[in-house]
Amino acid sequence: MSDIFVLSGSGTGVSKLHRKWYTLKGGADNDNQGQILVSMYVGELARKENVVKKKGMFNTGAKVDGPDEGDMLLDDLSGIRKGDDASEILINWKDPKKGGALQEITLRPEKGDDRDLWLSHINKSVSLRVLTRRAIERIMGWLSGDLDKPRTEKGYLLTTLDPSEFLDLGFSRVARTWEVHPLMKTDKRLVDGYPTAFECQMSDDDYKLICPPLAKNNWITELRFDCFFQVGLMGDEGATALAKALEKNKTITTVNLKGNRIGDEGAYFLSLMIRVNRTLEVLHLDGNCIKKPGTIYILTALSGDAVSKPNMCMREM
């Protein structure tokens, strides 16, 4: 017998996301009411809205500090389809506690009429995550040497790493009219020919995967992990992993992390990197969650103190 989840709040705005794990997020903007802006997890993480609730598993109102027992990785979801009942959605879930054995999950929208809306949004979320995994596999292939380095049509080496410009995977920083896109079946905007942008949303776990080989890379000079159309998913853990890689890297001169979720902890580790890195010239952190303590860490690292000399290489921040 499958577990039953109750979906509600499809028209509410759920703004509270947490570090590397995220939830179904409803939005009430324009005609995209109830749109799910997600990345990694389906779970009841924003408790007030009860976005996804598994009976008997959650303590409503409890503070959430990490993935809950009932949260499900988007990576582990497949076979999203309509159930026999007019209000049901069925999903195959690889249960990590049972060695990845498939388990059928039933989602039942609180409002039966919302079934098709949720079905479309969950399909889109899982499909986007599939595209993101492909982007990560490509990056890892380049960094490991298993894939040839990226080049322009004229054969020049591409030294900027920007997964949001992997057009063949369906990612683009600018809104464009797509003739063909992997999400044609799940995104009505594409079918209607509406110009659409798709930024690559990688989680902290993704950054922790790509950063160790990035530390040894000798041909990339610019990193673009910034986001504009929606808040990026890099948090303190992702920023920490990147900072440790940049402590060792000798070729990267520009890093753009605008519009992410980096806080004071991530700023602290970035400041440690600034103390020792003499290659990096540009670091953009606009639109993150860095407050006064994090700002002091970075300014102190730039100006120097009893621990380290001033960083005279950084020219833009």
SS3 for 273-317 is HHHHCCCCCEEECCCCCCCHHHHHHHHHHHHCCCCCCCCCCCCEC
pLDDT at 20: 26
Is 38 a residue whose pLDDT tops 80? no
pLDDT at 71: 57
Identity of residue 117: L
Nearest-10 Cα torsion for 192, 193, 195, 198:
80
Q: What are phi and psi of 254, to 5 degrees?
A: -135, 130
- 110 compared with 130, residue with greater pLDDT: 130
pLDDT at 172: 96
pLDDT at 72: 67
- 274 compared with 8, residue with greater pLDDT: 274
CB 107 within 8 Å of CB 3: no
- How far is the CA of 193 from the CAs of 60, 128, 271, in angstroms? 41, 19, 44
Q: Which residues contact 42 (CB under 8 A, 6 or more apart)?
A: 23, 24, 52, 71, 72, 74, 77, 122, 125
pLDDT at 46: 29
**Pairing relation of β-strands 52-54 and 3-7?**
antiparallel
Tokens of 164: 């949001």
CA gap 220, 157 in Å, rounded: 9
pLDDT at 62: 29
- 76 compared with 59, residue with greater pLDDT: 76
If you average pLDDT over residues 283-296, what whole number do you get? 94
Report the chain's mean pLDDT, rounded to a whole number: 78
Q: Percent of the chain, pLDDT > 90?
A: 50
If you average pLDDT over residues 290-300, what whole number do you get? 94
If you average pLDDT over residues 5-18, what whole number do you get? 34
- SS3 (DSSP) at 137: helix
* Digit-coded pLDDT (tens) for 232-285: 889 999 999 999 999 999 999 999 999 999 999 999 999 999 999 999 999 999
Confidence of residue 191 (pLDDT cuts 50, 70, 90): confident
Looking at residue 41, what DSSP letter applies?
Answer: E
Confidence of residue 200 (pLDDT cuts 50, 70, 90): very high
* Digit-coded pLDDT (tens) for 75-102: 888 898 998 888 788 888 887 778 888 8
pLDDT at 87: 79
Which stretches does DSSP call E strand in the chain?
A: 3-7, 41-42, 52-54, 72-73, 77-82, 89-95, 101-109, 160-161, 172-176, 196-198, 222-224, 254-256, 282-284
